Protein backbone atom coordinates (compact mmCIF):
# COMPACT_ATOMS: atom_id res chain seq x y z
CA UNK A 1 0.00 0.00 0.00
CA UNK A 2 1.39 3.41 -0.95
CA UNK A 3 1.84 5.98 1.81
CA UNK A 4 -0.44 9.01 1.67
CA UNK A 5 1.97 11.05 3.80
CA UNK A 6 3.60 13.91 1.96
CA UNK A 7 7.34 13.43 1.65
CA UNK A 8 8.96 15.73 4.27
CA UNK A 9 11.58 16.77 1.73
CA UNK A 10 8.95 18.79 -0.09
CA UNK A 11 8.81 21.15 2.86
CA UNK A 12 12.51 21.93 3.19
CA UNK A 13 13.62 24.92 1.16
CA UNK A 14 16.87 24.66 -0.78
CA UNK A 15 18.20 27.62 1.18
CA UNK A 16 17.53 25.92 4.52
CA UNK A 17 18.90 22.60 3.27
CA UNK A 18 22.12 23.99 1.87
CA UNK A 19 22.56 26.40 4.78
CA UNK A 20 22.26 23.62 7.34
CA UNK A 21 24.23 20.98 5.47
CA UNK A 22 27.16 23.30 4.71
CA UNK A 23 27.36 24.94 8.15
CA UNK A 24 30.87 24.49 9.59
CA UNK A 25 29.63 22.36 12.49
CA UNK A 26 27.71 20.06 10.12
CA UNK A 27 29.85 20.05 6.93
CA UNK A 28 27.94 17.22 5.30
CA UNK A 29 27.53 18.96 1.95
CA UNK A 30 31.30 19.20 1.70
CA UNK A 31 31.76 15.57 2.71
CA UNK A 32 29.14 14.34 0.20
CA UNK A 33 30.76 16.49 -2.46
CA UNK A 34 34.13 14.85 -1.86
CA UNK A 35 32.62 11.35 -1.84
CA UNK A 36 31.01 12.05 -5.22
CA UNK A 37 34.31 13.32 -6.67
CA UNK A 38 36.04 10.15 -5.40
CA UNK A 39 33.32 7.94 -6.91
CA UNK A 40 33.72 9.59 -10.32
CA UNK A 41 37.48 9.10 -10.23
CA UNK A 42 37.17 5.51 -9.10
CA UNK A 43 34.58 4.30 -11.61
CA UNK A 44 35.14 6.38 -14.74
CA UNK A 45 31.55 5.66 -15.87
CA UNK A 46 30.17 6.76 -19.24
CA UNK A 47 26.69 7.27 -17.87
CA UNK A 48 25.54 7.99 -14.37
CA UNK A 49 22.35 8.51 -12.40
CA UNK A 50 22.32 10.40 -9.13
CA UNK A 51 19.24 9.53 -7.10
CA UNK A 52 18.29 12.22 -4.60
CA UNK A 53 20.48 14.75 -6.40
CA UNK A 54 19.15 17.81 -4.51
CA UNK A 55 20.48 21.01 -6.10
CA UNK A 56 23.37 19.23 -7.79
CA UNK A 57 25.94 18.98 -5.02
CA UNK A 58 29.16 17.80 -6.68
CA UNK A 59 27.87 18.08 -10.24
CA UNK A 60 30.73 20.46 -11.01
CA UNK A 61 32.97 17.35 -10.97
CA UNK A 62 31.03 16.02 -13.99
CA UNK A 63 31.89 19.00 -16.16
CA UNK A 64 34.38 18.24 -18.98
CA UNK A 65 34.53 14.58 -17.90
CA UNK A 66 33.36 13.14 -21.22
CA UNK A 67 30.35 11.45 -19.63
CA UNK A 68 27.64 10.76 -22.21
CA UNK A 69 24.64 10.65 -19.94
CA UNK A 70 23.92 12.24 -16.56
CA UNK A 71 20.54 11.67 -14.93
CA UNK A 72 19.55 13.46 -11.73
CA UNK A 73 16.40 12.49 -9.86
CA UNK A 74 14.81 14.26 -6.95
CA UNK A 75 11.33 14.54 -5.48
CA UNK A 76 11.58 18.28 -4.75
CA UNK A 77 10.77 20.44 -7.82
CA UNK A 78 12.56 23.49 -6.40
CA UNK A 79 15.80 21.54 -5.97
CA UNK A 80 15.50 20.27 -9.54
CA UNK A 81 14.88 23.76 -10.85
CA UNK A 82 17.94 25.16 -9.03
CA UNK A 83 20.03 22.26 -10.26
CA UNK A 84 18.89 22.99 -13.83
CA UNK A 85 19.78 26.68 -13.55
CA UNK A 86 23.19 25.88 -12.14
CA UNK A 87 24.23 23.19 -14.59
CA UNK A 88 22.25 23.29 -17.84
CA UNK A 89 24.98 25.26 -19.62
CA UNK A 90 28.03 23.43 -18.32
CA UNK A 91 26.39 19.97 -18.48
CA UNK A 92 24.25 19.89 -21.65
CA UNK A 93 23.82 16.11 -21.32
CA UNK A 94 22.06 16.52 -17.96
CA UNK A 95 18.59 14.96 -17.74
CA UNK A 96 16.68 16.00 -14.63
CA UNK A 97 13.66 14.08 -13.43
CA UNK A 98 11.39 15.27 -10.67
CA UNK A 99 9.90 12.09 -9.26
CA UNK A 100 9.39 9.97 -6.18
CA UNK A 101 11.94 7.18 -6.34
CA UNK A 102 9.47 4.84 -4.75
CA UNK A 103 7.42 5.11 -7.93
CA UNK A 104 10.02 5.71 -10.60
CA UNK A 105 11.04 2.81 -12.84
CA UNK A 106 14.62 2.99 -14.08
CA UNK A 107 14.67 -0.18 -16.17
CA UNK A 108 15.91 -0.12 -19.77
CA UNK A 109 17.99 2.94 -19.06
CA UNK A 110 21.54 2.80 -20.30
CA UNK A 111 23.33 3.51 -17.06
CA UNK A 112 26.77 2.43 -15.88
CA UNK A 113 26.67 3.86 -12.40
CA UNK A 114 24.00 4.82 -9.91
CA UNK A 115 25.08 6.97 -7.00
CA UNK A 116 22.78 7.30 -4.03
CA UNK A 117 23.96 9.26 -1.02
CA UNK A 118 21.94 9.90 2.07
CA UNK A 119 18.47 9.33 0.73
CA UNK A 120 15.63 7.78 2.64
CA UNK A 121 14.55 4.99 0.34
CA UNK A 122 14.48 1.34 1.37
CA UNK A 123 17.79 -0.34 0.38
CA UNK A 124 15.83 -3.28 -1.07
CA UNK A 125 13.83 -0.90 -3.24
CA UNK A 126 17.04 0.63 -4.60
CA UNK A 127 18.64 -2.76 -5.12
CA UNK A 128 15.60 -3.86 -7.14
CA UNK A 129 15.76 -0.77 -9.34
CA UNK A 130 19.49 -1.16 -9.93
CA UNK A 131 19.06 -4.84 -10.78
CA UNK A 132 16.49 -4.01 -13.45
CA UNK A 133 19.12 -1.79 -15.11
CA UNK A 134 21.63 -4.67 -14.97
CA UNK A 135 23.60 -3.03 -12.18
CA UNK A 136 24.98 -4.56 -9.05
CA UNK A 137 25.94 -2.99 -5.77
CA UNK A 138 29.67 -2.60 -5.44
CA UNK A 139 30.07 -0.27 -2.57
CA UNK A 140 28.11 0.46 0.47
CA UNK A 141 29.90 2.99 2.65
CA UNK A 142 28.74 3.47 6.18
CA UNK A 143 29.99 6.82 7.31
CA UNK A 144 30.13 7.56 10.99
CA UNK A 145 29.46 11.12 11.98
CA UNK A 146 30.92 12.80 15.05
CA UNK A 147 27.43 12.84 16.54
CA UNK A 148 27.58 9.03 16.63
CA UNK A 149 25.01 8.72 13.86
CA UNK A 150 25.92 7.13 10.58
CA UNK A 151 24.66 7.23 7.04
CA UNK A 152 24.92 5.18 3.92
CA UNK A 153 26.23 5.83 0.46
CA UNK A 154 25.46 3.12 -2.07
CA UNK A 155 26.87 2.61 -5.51
CA UNK A 156 25.61 0.32 -8.20
CA UNK A 157 27.69 -0.38 -11.30
CA UNK A 158 27.29 -2.35 -14.49
CA UNK A 159 28.35 -5.96 -14.19
CA UNK A 160 31.35 -6.97 -16.37
Ligand X SMILES: C[S@@+](CC[C@H](N)C(=O)[O-])C[C@H]1O[C@@H](n2cnc3c(N)ncnc32)[C@H](O)[C@@H]1O
Residues of this chain that interact with ligand X (CB under 6 A) are 7, 9, 32, 36, 52, 54, 57, 73-76, 79, 100-102, 117-121
Task: Supply the minimum distance, in Å, between the C-beta of residue 10 and ligand X.
Answer: 8
Where does residue 106 rank: exposed (0-12), middle (13-18), buried (19+ CB within 10 A)? Answer: buried
Task: Supply the minimum distance, in Å, between the C-beta of residue 160 and ligand X.
Answer: 26
- Phi–psi pair at 68, nearest 5 degrees: -70, -40
Query: Which is nearer to ligand X, 34 or 90 (by Cβ)?
Result: 34
Query: Which is nearer to ligand X, 9 or 43 (by Cβ)?
Result: 9
Query: Which is nearer to ligand X, 103 or 159 (by Cβ)?
Result: 103
Distance CA 102, CA 56 (A): 20
Query: Which is nearer to ligand X, 1 or 159 (by Cβ)?
Result: 1
Task: Supply the minimum distance, in Å, between the C-beta of residue 136 and ligand X.
Answer: 20
Q: Which residues of 53-74 are buried (b: 16+ CB within 10 A; e: fewer)?
A: bbbbbbbebbeeeebebbbbbb
Amino acid sequence: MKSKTKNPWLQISAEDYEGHMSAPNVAQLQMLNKIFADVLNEFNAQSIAVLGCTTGNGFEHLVNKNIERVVGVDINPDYISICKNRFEKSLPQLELICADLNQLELQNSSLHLIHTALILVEPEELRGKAKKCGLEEVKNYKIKLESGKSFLVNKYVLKD
